Structure 1
Amino acid sequence: MRIRSQLVALVIALVVPITLLAGATLVQLQSVQRHEQEERLRERVTALRLALDTQIESGLRALTGLASSSSARNELVASSDAAALFASHPLWRAITLQPLAEGGTAWHLAREGASTDAPPAAVLEQASQAAGGVLSDVVEGNRSYLAVPVQRQGRTVGVLLATIGDAEWLAFLRRYDIAGPGTITLSDRSGRIAARTLEHEQWVGRDADPQFLQATRDQDEGVLTARNLDGTPYFSAFSRMRSAGWVLSSGVPVAILDGTVRKTTLVTVVSLTAATIAALLLAAVISNRIASAMTGVLEMAAGLADDEPGEARVLGQIDADTVRQKAQEAADARRARDEAQARALASETRARAIAEAASRSKDQYIAMLGHELRNPLSAIASASAVLAEPAALARDRSRALEVVQRQVRHLRKMVDDLLDATRLASGKLELQRRPVDLAAIARHVVGHFDAAGRCSGLRIELVAEPVWVEGDEVRLEQIVSNLLDNACKYTPAGGHVRLSVAADGDEAVLTVADDGPGLEPELLPRVFESFSQGPRLIDRSPGGVGLGLSIVQQLVVLHGGKVSASNGGDLGGSLFNVRLARCAPPAAGHGDAAASAPAGALRVLLVEDNADSREMLAALLELQGHAVSTAADGQAGLEAIRRERPELALVDLGLPGLDGHSLAAAVRAEGSTTRLFALTGYNTEADREAAARAGFDGYLVKPLDLQAFQALLVEHGLAGRRRAAGGS
């Protein structure tokens, strides 16, 4: 009995740790499966949300471009232009022009079999008040609208709408559908379901579960466990569309997610129970055999002692077939495990290669950007050293000053290109449209290039006839400047560059051609992509960060025009053509003669925390004839305004302690008459709006542009004013 008790104790000692380990493994398995499902749902929802945001933003940009285009007839927007745009957007069921004033011509284009219901008045009102277009919520008939206002001469005269039905939303979602009972759901801002990949007809147009609405109201993305409209618990991930505020969610029933764990748990419990019982039975059998064998040995010993040998007990033989079978099963399991590891290793290798390629691209771009920044910084450092050298001649100092000014302009252009590319990509760049002469802009750009020596060693030919277009003068000048700069970079010394402006029917055509080597065949299809550049030698003599042509293409599209690139032409090198819609020239007498009026001496307070910037800017303003005082932080600036009562205060926004916005609010609350101009390195519409709300009268971007500063002085009636004698 002692042998049997010891074997039972051994079995128990082995089974208990195995049971505990199995339980811990099951708990970990459930956690891992939940985490993996969460990550899969997050990735799916994020990918689909990005695709939907791209579709909506692309559609709004296309409608905005169409709404701003001019028509050859009396229509607000040409239906023929809309038909071409409609064909390239399969998500749209119909496209409609709805005039808001009498005399406008409405039209409606719809796909075959689509309804022709008029858009609701609420959608028209919402669109007419939106500056950049909207995606409406789901309305009666399970429809939603992409809508943009049609503006003519500064007022909204109609609304251009693209209808998207639940069938179109559903077709788009099913491109990313998931296998099995999982579902993808799209809800509008109010929580109404626009499309659902599972049982769509049953759920479309209904409100989402209140628990889901509460969970997603204050978050842009996340995961949660909630009940479906039919009461089924779902494990879901959601993400809010940046373009419209709609919510996209993907979920899997909790029962299915936990079913695998429950099945594994049941199999494990049954297996452990069976193994324990079998081990106990085996222990009993082995203990009986050992006891029998010991009894046989004792009988044989007793027999030998009596000279009568006893009968020996034979122990059982091991089953060889069972051993071979178990060994084969183990070998098969090992082979399957090795194959799975090989597949995982191959997948990891591919992912690592992709990541390394992305890292190399990032490193190359950063290295290129660093090189482009070091060139002007090196020139500025050397010029500063010349200016600081007491033995430097006057002509050396003059030359060094020219270098500093030119390189600062170069740095500003690089930063402006990066910021413009960001604003264009996010759709936050707004155009200030008015009739402008494209030929005058071309002449101004060429004159600027000549004065700055940016095309030295080249022959620049300008052929321009007056052609008027409706556009943003600053951005049109940027288009011409970027194209001419690109031609000058890639044309060898002694080459020929031609800039021409001409009318072609209802269009104005801007052409920039050169006799350089032309565009590489592999670069030509992607020449307008960001950071696309032709082959460079190690010296990178042409310079630039690869954004100029991308900005050109996006600005031309914002103006409702087209740009193309090719090789050949009269000069044999690269050829760029920009086509914009023509407009009638403005009436005479619209110039602003006051814009050039010189500024008089003013009492100016400069509030800037950077000591070098404060000292140099104060010196520059004093050279302009102004009486300048300074403050190094917001509190000191506020006290100086109270004490000195300056006519103008230039205030940095990022000040320590009391920031620029708080300073402006305090000044306005006290009723001070001091004009406040913000001077900052931030330059977005949101920054400008925040400054205006705080109480600033004007907005200037670092480094200070004296022409922009002068224009603000003229605008606020400060130009030509003289400081009173004895004034403080």
Structure 2
Amino acid sequence: MTNPEFIPDIEAISSIDAVPVILSMVKHLTGMRFAAVARVTERNWVACAVDDSIDFGLKPGGELVLESTICHEIRQHQQPVIFGHASAHPIFSRHHTPQTYGLESYISIPIVKANGDFFGTLCAIDSVPANLDEPAIAKTLTLFAQLIAMSLDTQSHLEAAKVELASANELGRLREQFIAVLGHDLRTPLSAIRMSADLLQTKTEDKRSLNLLSAIRNSSMRMGVLIENILDFARGRLGGGIPVQRKLVDDLQRTLLLTLEEVQASHPRATFIHELNVPTGVYCDALRISQLLSNLLGNAVTHGSASAPIILKACAEGDEIVISLSNQGTPIPAPLMPLLFEPFSRSEAGQRGEGLGLGLYIAAQITAAHNGTLQVTSDAESGTCFVARFPAQFKWV
């Protein structure tokens, strides 16, 4: 029976989507057959997540006698412990832990939160020796442990923020400042994860490992989009609007087509129909227009019917560029329509879905920064249609 004291820790780890992938990657990188995330306190060793191919017998919530583990020592010195052949090791050949559990190979990396609190360890064990001398193994597992710690910190910050914001008179300002700092702080470890995935890809030809690396890369790319949305939101609310750099663009149509192809590659099951007839010499920020379209396409894929195509049209009407996107599916609820282009409107309207509810807000802000408009219609018969309009040439406002 799981100790109730550690249920919040187990739930916190289980809510981190990357943990199962991390444990699988740990096994593949080390060649070991058991990996886990453990919560380690001054009295308890508790498994929070487990990937077990040797029937070691631990499940999430399972405990080991603290003093029988090396993690008890790691909690005190907070340094990694790694050995690949215990019976031949000058120290660990006499250590009680390998003898108690019949271990030959062992690696354990401390998980330390930003405030210095020791959470536990990311560890792997096996009853047979393993080659753990490659420095990249320890470095990569350390990055994984940092990612877990960072995710736990984020959860703690978000929970603390919810409590504070519920009673704060300036709820919006506090939330905006919080996510701005969070977005900046996430960029550095995310870059490290991407670089590690790229490095590991050059060192393996195993198909399963490559698939796992692809999953890590795709997840990091999606996280990168979320972070950029957070930063754009913060800039828009705290800095007077999302910045755009408008200039004369001759290949906006190609930019739109490439954006569509990128979204199609990420959602191979979705069907897209496009009709693009955009002239040259459009005065705009092409990257921001691409971001606008990407957000609209992502919204259509998420909320549209999987059995009906998503229709993209872009053309010139008079002196304006018009981009429209239509999809079938459940109409947007009437109570949500007035909030649709506001940040976090999905959660405030009781809607569920992926993301933070910033995509449409940012799309509207990009359109506004181009002196344009973004409008939506939605009904059961015609489906949902977003229409963005902005001047094709420079206009003083």
Q: Normalising by the residue count of structure 1, what TM-score does the alignment of the two structures yield?
A: 0.26
> Higher relative contact order by CA 8 Å / sep ≥ 6: 1 or 2?
2
Q: Normalising by the residue count of structure 2, what TM-score does the alignment of the two structures yield?
A: 0.46
